[in-house]
Amino acid sequence: MTTPTATSHANVVTEQLTAAGRAIEHDSFSIIDREVGPHTYAPEQWPVVRRMIHANADFEFNGLTRFHPDAVGAALRAILAHSTRLVADVEMICVGLSQPRLRHFGLGTHQFISDADVIERAQAEGTTRAVQAMRKAQRLGLLDGAIVGIGNAPTALIEVVRLIREEGARPALVLGMPVGFVSAAESKALMAEVTEVPWIVIDGRKGGSTLVVAALHALLGLAEAREREAQAA
């Protein structure tokens, strides 16, 4: 079965809840398609990039966004398992995601950035809370098979790369999109060198939690389209 090329208008769970909201969103996507100019993204990748552009009204994500060859396929397999978890670097990602869409796919969310033990370890070891949050996720066995979303902390992404290379962590997909001026570009370049795990990254300093949420919502839309195609077959 081929990967859906866009979120089908037959989708229900991953669409806006009102006709007016759906019309605005679809019109926005049409404007982006008209104005974006040429791009080299595969049909299954473009809906992700388009929704990221939609989230920020920034056409530079056409070009800045890079995909591991198996990124979308791995994401859909994980989502359609209906038992996958999301491990995020910050609470903002978990709050920004649509709860009905998460529930439909049985996608639980985890973030540990403000946990007392995470703060204590960061202070004791001279690291960041983001580093310790990823280490806690690994200790709890949450990283393997998970979708990992990093939108705020470059140190979290660097630590995820270390956990993959040195401790054998195997997330289903890493969304490496931290924003910032210190180590942000470098952390994403480091993730893009990883061959063991699929990833989607944004080159350079741009990024943010809203982009992780946008990418995940696009992937959930593709997953619902795949699900509906299977049901119709």
Q: How far apart are CA 204 and CA 20, in angstroms?
A: 36
CA neighbor of 136 nearest in space, from 77, 67, 68, 89: 89
Instruction: Return the number of other C-beta atoms located less than 10 Å from residue 75's C-beta.
Output: 26
Q: What are the helix and strand counts (H, E) for the chain?
A: 11, 6
CA dihedral 195, 44, 30, 37 (to 10 degrees): 60
CA end-to-end span of the chain: 10
Contact at 8 Å (CB) between 177 and 61? no
Task: Tell me which of 54, 68, 104, 217 is the catalytic residue.
Answer: 54
| 68 tagged catalytic | no
Backbone angles phi, psi at 54, to 5 degrees: -60, -35
220, two tokens: 């959930």
Contact at 8 Å (CB) between 213 and 93? yes
175, two tokens: 């969304």
Residue 223's identity, in one-letter code, is A
User: Residue 144: which region, alpha, beta or left (left: phi > 0; alpha: psi -120 to 50)?
Assistant: beta
Query: What amino acid positions are annotated as catalytic residues?
Result: 54
